[in-house]
Amino acid sequence: MNISSRKIIFLAGWVGIPLFFWLGRIEPALERSNSARATKEGSDESRDIGRRSISRRDRLETEWNNFRKQADIQLANLDTDLHPHLVQKRVFELAARLDLDIDIQEESGDGRRRFSLRGEGSWDSFISWIDALEKGPHRIRFENLQLTLPEERYSDRGGTRIEALFAIPHIEKDSTT
């Protein structure tokens, strides 16, 4: 069998030209496949993030509903419960405004919150302070109150001294509201 060079070139062209077009067509398809795979992975990642966001939203909604129930209970009891920190804050703010130096310690008691108080300042400031606390929104009641007038022997600021014991009152709800 004698194959001429023309026949070899013809056969090479006959196989090579379609092979060239076929490989050229596959290469862009491979590029598109890689691009599609990357897009699919990106969309899977976005879907997972979306699912986590929905899960987080549902969890936060459940937590909010649980908190809301507790908050509604606390707000319903707000008229009868005075928070000790708010009372202490009121006592300290009023004392600072009247230039009184006071110190409060919480005492253990019979279920009511009690506080012992020591301080120093001017007589008029203490009178105004006690009046404002008893007539103010918290209606603090002093169980024991002792004011000591200044004496010559006081060397530090020479002011009136106070020692007191007060409790946070339990306020009954008004049934008319």
Q: How many CB atoms lie within 10 A of CB 151?
A: 8
Residue with token string 């600072």: 96
Per-residue pLDDT of 121-169, as tens digits, reads 888 888 888 888 888 776 777 888 888 876 655 545 547 788 887 776 5
Pairing mode, if any, of strands 141-148 and 160-167? antiparallel
pLDDT string in tens for the chain (177-residue length): 577 888 888 888 888 888 877 776 666 666 777 777 888 888 888 888 888 888 888 898 998 888 888 877 776 665 555 566 777 788 888 889 988 888 888 776 666 677 888 888 888 888 888 888 888 776 777 888 888 876 655 545 547 788 887 776 555 555 444
Q: pTM of whole model > 0.75?
A: no
Domain boundaries, the chain: 1-76, 84-167
Query: Domain 84-167: which topology?
Result: Alpha-Beta Plaits (3.30.70)
